[in-house]
Chain A
Amino acid sequence: MKRVMLLKGKSSLGIVLFLLTSMMLSGCNLDFDPKASMKTPQLSSDNESLKSVVNQYLAQLPSGGSLIRPTDDGTTSLIRVLDLDNDGKNEALIFYETADDPVPIHGVVFGYQGDTWEPQATIDGEGQVLESLQLADLTNDGKIDIIAGYSNGEQQVQKGLSVYTYSHKKLEKIMVELPYSYYVVNDLNADGKNDLSVVYFKKNEFSSIMTYQFDGKTFDELDKLDLDSNINGYYNMVTGKISAAGEQGIMLDVSLNAAGNSSYTLVITMEAGKLVQVLGQDQTYKDDRIPSADVNGDGILEYGLLQKPAGWDGVALEDIPWLYTYYHVGDADKPVWEEFLGLSIPTDLIGKVTIDTKSVKDQYIKFVRTDNGHTVLEVKYFTLSQWDRRNQDWKLLQRTSDRVIGYRGTNTGSKNGLGEQ
């Protein structure tokens, strides 16, 4: 009898446990998909509160607004946090557009007041599109100024450049709609103060480069250099060191026809307060668009030329597989960089490799050493189906909808940029 009682006690205990467990299991969400537990990382609390303030600000606008970034630079964040007035506290700068507004582009500076962000000053943009936005100290007062370029969204219409300076919770517009095609901020006259160089161009009418510096009240034109306006246009403007000595200069890439296969590079510096053209069409003409840049990462700008590989004399120009070679200003004999379809030739092999003359442009290119004839690199053009059946040592170089360019190297060494395994 007692035993039966005991058994009864145990089984009722079991029922209680079962109920408890099932309750817990149903109560707790036992979703075992790990991906469901992923979460976007938090912003810092500062950024979080700023973002909510910005969103609130946009939401209370009559027709709403959406944050924008300049069209020329995708790396610009939508909300920029920096110390505009050099008071040790950060301000936040946003640009937004209100589509149906007569003034569609707006800027707002938020300041940190007490323990929250508050809008301090606003900008009404002078155009339909925010073309450019740079933050640099153009007034040379230690405070960062806002350089904004606007356009009406159509290529032919000139762009206007405005500069705003921010202090004591106020924005002051110190330059209004300076017409420009390209602009750079630099210290061309090497006086330790930033200056602004602007290229303004209208096809077949005028083309000039002007350098301005702020004198405390307005922007003074330091110098102006007229350029050839009988060109198709400019496609690139960079500034930076143009010599190892640290001389600052501007490289302006000029396109001569709409097809874009004929261009040259202008190199301009400032000597004794005067803008000087150092190199021009005579030295830098090429039958292709090659943007100037610091391609080898040495801190000095290079301009590019087309190079006929050794041994290809007498071949029709359109059949030559041209190499891109890059030079420093004033050193036109010694290329510092050479590449083919973006594949760089190792620096120590420049001048020592050429393309085998049996190569056929757009089909098969073989790089050989000029000293011993060893194959260094092969580039081959595949159809898509050929590519799928390829030998695995071919690596992808470029791919289009109907063909693939592959390459395989035997001793190419490291590439430019990030390097590769």
Chain B
Amino acid sequence: MIKKGIGRQIVMHYFIVVFVTLLLVEVIFMFAIRSYYYNSISTHLENYAAWASDYFQKYVKQNEDDELSYLPDMIQTFKLVNTEVEIVNGDGVVLTNSTDFQVDKPVQTSDVLQAKAGNISKWIGRQPGTGELVMAVSSPLKVNGTNKFIIRYVTSLELVNERLMNITLLSIVVGVIVLAVVLLFSMGLANSIVKPINNIQAVSSQMAKGDFDVRVKGDYAYELGELAATLNFMAQEIVRSNQIKDDFISSISHELRTPLTGIKGWSETLTMGGFDREETEIGMKIISKETDRLIGLVEEMLDFGKLQQNEMKLVIGSVNIVELLQEIMLNVWAKAELKQIQLKLEGEISEPVVVSGDANRLKQVFLNIADNAIKFSHENSTIYLIVAKSAEMAFISVKDTGIGISEENLRRVKDRFFQVNHQGGGTGLGLAITQQLVELHKGELKMESELGAGTTVHVSLPLMKSED
């Protein structure tokens, strides 16, 4: 039939819901139809019995001399089709009835007792002797205001029950058909959910095997559509980050090889000997400088590693941002001077803007940002460092008028290992580290840029909460 899985479960659920609903409806229907049948019949008998009582009281003349001889006439008068009529006295003794036989035992059913008390009432039970299920309705026949006899109508309910049984069977058959139709529909409906899921599952298992070029095809609605889109996006992202990683490896190899080539070349050259002191000094300086560069690279990677594994420990203290930025300006001054770039500190710098944070790490953040700004600025331009603050946050913007970043690259520039231009050197980790450090300080880093017009980096940091 249907193979095990979500499809079968959905069909099963449909089945259970519809089955329970049908069952309840059928049970209620059967009770309703049963009471409809029984009530109709008892009402019919009660009306007739009431008429008989009324007629007897009004028109049947009593002659006490031979009161028993008119009983057969009464049976004739009060008989009702498909019933047995009995005339019963106060002790339940059946005086006469519409059959040809006498009834030996007195009738003591509740309807007779009720009729004795003056009420019309019905009784449902098994007829003694035949065991047939019957309904009996009794009504008093009054003479001179006294209950003289009881007229009792008895009708068999066997045919009624048979008919009720037929209706039950019919309704069960209809129920089964409805259930079958619903099952067919539910299979179709289940398919509309199962097919996309199967498709997505097949694609994702292909992805799990390493094939990230496959995509979930088809336009699915709601959650399934989102799931497919997410999966597609995930595959795309995996491909991209792999690409970045590959780029990183090639660029880091390049980065490592360049200083190592210098170191190796100079160390071999110096090993040959025969150089004067000045030349040797130049060689050694180059070796030292290239080693520094290697150490810088390695430290950057260590930092990044720590950040990745959440092992970066911050030494939190109060840091005056204005002071920090002035320090940064001094640190990069030499570099800026080479490109004739001016650095300007502006904004709310008259008072200290104190944030809570690790001074060294924050310094690293702003050094990196300032360094990038200088790196990508044209000669003879100006870089602005702007400080602002709100009630809870300090805002620092570093604005240059450099080459800018294209919109496409701006989205990826914070990714690890991403470099717009691999010729520029570096690991591509700088901005990623900066971003993570800012986030560690519960701050935010945003970039806006226009290609050819320059870039602005916005850093927001929470202000130190004043102690007062």
Instruction: List residues of A whose CB falls within 8 A of some B CB.
Output: 6, 10, 13-14, 17, 20-21, 24, 28, 30, 33-35, 37-45, 47, 51, 54, 67, 69, 71-81, 235-236, 291, 341-344, 395-399, 407, 415-421
- Residue B286 at the chain A interface, CB threshold 8 Å: no
Tell me, in angstroms, the Cα distance from A17 to B234 when the chains sit together: 48
Give every chain A residue within 8 A of B184 (Cβ-Cβ).
10, 13
A13 to chain B, nearest CB (A): 7
Chain B minimum-CB-distance residue to A341: B144
Identify which of B156-164, B242-250, B351-359 touches chain A. Answer: B156-164
Question: Are the CB atoms of A399 and B59 closer together than 8 Å?
Answer: yes
Whether, in the assembled complex, B130 has its beta carbon less than 8 Å from a beta carbon of chain A, the answer is yes
Establish whether residues B148 and A418, one from each chain, have CB atoms under 8 Å apart when the complex forms: yes
* Contact call A77/B96, Cβ cutoff below 8 A: yes
In the complex, are the beta carbons of B130 and A421 less than 8 A apart?
Answer: no
- Is there contact, CB below 8 Å, between B146 and A41? no
A169 to chain B, nearest CB (A): 22
Shortest CB-to-CB span from B273 to chain A, Å, is 85
Distance to closest chain B CB from A298 (angstroms): 15
State which of A28, A40, A77, A397 has its C-beta within 8 Å of the C-beta of B166: A28
Q: Are A416 and B146 in contact (CB under 8 A)?
A: yes
Assuming the A-B contacts A13-B184, A417-B147, are A396 and B65 also in contact, with contact meaning beta carbons closer than 8 angstroms in the complex?
no
Instruction: Determine the residue in chain B with the shortest Cβ distance to A73.
Output: B68
Question: Which residues of A lie under 8 Å from residue B58 when comparing CB positions?
Answer: 396, 399
Contact status A78-B100, CB under 8 Å: yes
Residues of A with C-beta under 8 A to B181: 13-14, 17
The reply to whether the CB of B154 lies closer than 8 angstroms to some CB of chain A is yes
**Contact assessment for A75 and B101 in the assembled complex, using a CB-CB cutoff below 8 Å:** no
Given contacts A34-B40, A35-B44, A77-B102, contact A342 B69 (CB under 8 A): no
Report which of A17, A38, A77 forms a contact with B159, defined as CB distance below 8 A. Answer: A38
Does A20 lie within 8 Å of B134, measured CB to CB?
Answer: no
Interchain CB contact (< 8 A) of A34 among B41, B57, B148, B174:
B41
A41, B148: Cβ atoms closer than 8 Å: no
Which of B82-90, B222-230, B323-331, B336-344 makes up part of the contact surface?
B82-90
Q: In the complex the two chains form, is A291's CB within 8 Å of B65's CB?
A: yes
Q: Is the CB of B41 within 8 A of A35?
A: yes
CA distance A6 to B148 in the complex (A): 76
User: Which chain A positions have C-beta within 8 A of B72?
Assistant: 69, 74
A280 to B177, CA, bound (A): 86
| A395/B170 contact (C-beta < 8 A), A37-B159, A291-B64, A417-B90 known | no
* Interfacial chain A residues near B95, Cβ < 8 Å: 74-75
CB <8 Å contact, A407 and B155: no
Given A28-B170, A40-B82, A236-B65, 7 further pairs, Cβ under 8 A: A6-B188, A39-B155, A40-B155, A73-B68, A74-B69, A77-B101, A78-B101
Nearest CB in chain A to that of B103: its residue: A77
Pick from A42, A71, A291, A418: contact of B116, CB under 8 Å: A418
Whether B117 lies near A421 (C-beta < 8 A) is yes
B118 at the interface (CB under 8 A from A): yes
Chain B 383-410: CB-based contact to A (< 8 A → 1; otherwise 0):
0000000000000000000000000000
The 8 A CB mask of B38-79 against A (1 = contact, 0 = none) is 101100100000000000011100001110111111100000
B202 at the interface (CB under 8 A from A): no
- Check B36–A34 contact: CB distance below 8 A: yes
Q: How far is the CA of A38 from the CA of B173 in the complex (A)?
A: 26
Chain B residues, CB < 8 A from A28: 166, 170
Q: Is B424 an interface residue (CB 8 A)?
A: no
6 closest residue pairs by CB, A with B: A342-B144, A74-B71, A418-B147, A34-B40, A77-B102, A78-B100
Known: A69-B72, A341-B144. A40 touches B156 (CB 8 A): yes
Q: Which of A38, A51, A73, A396 has the most CB of B within 10 A?
A: A38
Set of chain A residues within 8 Å of B15, measured between Cβ atoms = none
Question: Could you say which residues of chain B place their CB within 8 Å of the CB of A14?
Answer: 181
Q: In the bound complex, how far is the Cα of B135 from the Cα of A35, in angstroms?
A: 12
> Given the complex, which residues of B lie within 8 Å of A13, measured CB to CB?
181, 184
In the assembled complex, 7 residue pairs joining A and B whose CB atoms fall closer than 8 Å, in A order, are A35-B40, A38-B44, A39-B82, A39-B158, A41-B134, A79-B100, A415-B145
Expressed in whole angstroms, the Cα–Cα distance for A396 and B83 within the complex equals 29
Do B130 and A343 touch (CB < 8 A)?
Answer: no
What CA separation (Å) do A44 and B95 show in the bound complex?
19
B37 at the interface (CB under 8 A from A): yes
Q: With A and B bound together, what is the CA distance between A77 and B40 in angstroms?
A: 31
Question: Which chain B residues border A291 with CB–CB below 8 Å?
Answer: 64-65
Residue of A nearest to B147 (CB): A418
Q: Provide the residues of chain A in CB contact with B99, threshold 8 Å.
A: 43, 47, 77
- B127 contacts the other chain (Cβ, under 8 Å)? yes
Contacts of A20 in B (CB 8 A): 177
Any chain A CB within 8 A of the CB of B28? no
Query: Which residues of chain B have C-beta atoms less than 8 A from A79's C-beta?
Result: 100-101
Given A342-B144, A397-B144, A415-B146, do A41 and B68 touch, yes or no (CB 8 Å)? Answer: no
A34, B160: Cβ atoms closer than 8 Å: yes
Q: Residue-by-residue, is B137-158 near A (CB-CB < 8 Å gives 1, otherwise 0)? A: 0001011111110100011101
Report A363 CB to chain B, min CB distance, Å. 18
Whether B69 pairs with A41 at a CB distance below 8 angstroms is no
B5 CB within 8 Å of chain A? no
Contact among A35, A37, A43, A341 for B130, CB-based, below 8 A = A43
B310-349 CB contacts (< 8 Å) to partner A: none
Residue in chain B with minimal CB distance to A289: B65
- In the complex where A396-B57, A421-B118 touch, is A41 in contact with B100 (Cβ < 8 A)? no
Q: Which residue of A lies closest to B140 (CB)?
A: A418
- In the bound complex, CA of A67 to CA of B83 (Å): 21
| Chain B residues with CB below 8 A from A419, complex form | 116-117, 147
Q: Whole-angstrom distance from the CB of A69 to the nearest CB of chain B? A: 7
Min CB gap A127→B, angstroms: 17
Residues of A within 8 A of B69 (CB): 71-74
Which residue of B is nearest A27, CB measured?
A: B170
User: Chain A residue with minimal CB distance to B129?
Assistant: A44
A14, chain B: closest CB distance, angstroms: 8
